[in-house]
Amino acid sequence: LSGKNRYHVFDPEHDRQARAQHEALAAIKYALDQGQFRLYYQPKVNMRSGKVIGSEALIRWLHPEDGLRPPAEFLPYVEDTDLSIELGEWVIHEALKQLARWQEEGLGIQVSVNITAHHLMQPDFAQRLKELLDEFPQVPPRLLELEITESAALEDIGVISDLIDHCHTLGVTFALDDFGAGYSSLTYLRRLPVDILKIDQSFVRDMLLDPNDMAIVAGVISLSLEFGRRVIAEGVETAEHGMKLLAMNCELAQGYGIARPMPAEAFLPWVKTFNPDARWAEAYTDMLI
Ligand code: C2E
Ligand code: MG
Ligand code: MG
Ligand code: MG
């Protein structure tokens, strides 16, 4: 007998889970074919200059009966399956399509997309990425950023590092998402050629209350400077968070305090009316040097 299926003890709970997983995947595949997925875009801003520097594309399932479903409700089923590759390619394609539209409208900002480890580890990932970029010659590849999580990056640091280097030659950039939430050692970070670190939102959220979280945020900011990486704070919910981050020399931010993720059509109007001085009012003016 080979290693697979060595244990044949019937386990009803396992059987139920396998069935649920199977049904969920079938439903997601159907939804993808039916065009039920949407990308929402959440602005990333420079709090010091008040400029909108980019946006993160976040997937939503516009379910005909249940309405808008967040990724936490369906992505877990997809992770580690080949459907994550198909879905991931759809996301990149859709983001490039949107970048092309924004180019036409004179909005030259970056779009970041989230990539699973399983997708990234495909041997032809860089080649497929190149093909997708080639479909949109009007989009400068540097406007596409790929976000990978710390745990994804650690699956095989050598392979991932080479892959990032390869994709860099295509012009795209990389962000290390949810930084601090995983288990990476500093050695790993040094070996990983990512362009920007995203401080995990759990630390940002609690940093004003919890000195330990504050220490982690401060640590990630100085680490990024030491290693010559940029840094952005996620989960910036209040002006107080923004102010404190600015004081610690973290200028880039993303969070509900700036804007929630929004449909693509809402983004350009939002950029046009975005006025950091009004939005963050008193908190801001002191900080603008
Ligand atoms: P993430 O990449 O860390 O994205 C940030 C998440 O935090 C988003 O949730 C966003 O809506 C939320 N968020 C942003 N600012 C704030 C804030 O100030 N406060 C709070 N409480 N939350 C904030 P969302 O859209 O539900 O996505 C959750 C996760 O699902 C993402 O975390 C990412 O890991 C994954 N995801 C989303 N879209 C995609 C995708 O297209 N592909 C893949 N592979 N994963 C995706
Ligand atoms: Mg992300
Ligand atoms: Mg994150
Ligand atoms: Mg996350």
Residue range 132-157: mean pLDDT, rounded = 90
Tell me, using a 6 A CB cutoff, whether residue 178 lines ligand 1. Answer: yes
Computed over every residue of the chain, the mean pLDDT equals 90
Pair 257, 281: CB distance under 8 Å: no
pTM of the model: 0.92
Pair 281, 239: CB distance under 8 Å: yes
Residue 64 has pLDDT above 90, yes or no: yes
Which uninterrupted H or E stretch holds 236? none
Which uninterrupted H or E stretch holds 224? helix 211-226
Tell me, using a 6 A CB cutoff, whether residue 91 lines ligand 1. Answer: yes
Nearest CA to ligand 1 atom 35: 71
Nearest CA to ligand 1 atom 46: 114
Indicate the pairing of strand 110-114 with strand 144-149. parallel
Three-state SS sequence of 74-142: CHHHHCCCCHHHHHHHHHHHHHHHHHHHHHHCCCCCEEEEECCHHHHCCCCHHHHHHHHHHHCCCCCHH
Nearest CA to ligand 1 atom 14: 255
Q: What is the model's pLDDT at position 258?
A: 92
Alpha-carbon distances of 39 from 60, 63, 97, 111, rounded to whole Å: 6, 13, 11, 11
Angle of CA points 245, 249, 255, to nearest 5°: 35
Q: Which among 84, 85, 114 is the best mutation to test ligand 1's pocket, defined by most ligand atoms within 8 Å of the CB?
A: 114
User: Token pair of 262, please?
Assistant: 């929004």
Tell me, using a 6 A CB cutoff, whether residue 206 lines ligand 1. Answer: no
20-42: pLDDT as tens digits: 999 999 999 999 999 999 999 99
Residue 198 has pLDDT above 80, yes or no: yes
Q: Which residue has the tokens 């039916």?
A: 34
| Ligand found nearest the CA of 71 | 1
Residues 245, 174, 177, 92: is their CA dihedral positive or negative? positive
- Which candidate, 262, 261, 241, 264, places its Cα nearest to that of 252? 241
Residue range 116-136: mean pLDDT, rounded = 95
Report the distance separating Cα 44 and Cα 109, nearest Å: 10
Residue 192 has pLDDT above 60, yes or no: yes
For 155, what's the count of Cα atoms within 13 Å in the CB-facing half-sphere?
15
User: Cα of 58 to ligand 1 centre, how many Å?
Assistant: 6
Nearest CA to ligand 1 atom 22: 235
Q: Which residue has the tokens 């909005």?
A: 107
Tell me, using a 6 A CB cutoff, whether residue 261 lines ligand 1. Answer: yes
Residue 110 has pLDDT above 90, yes or no: yes
Report the distance separating Cα 197 and Cα 69, nearest Å: 28
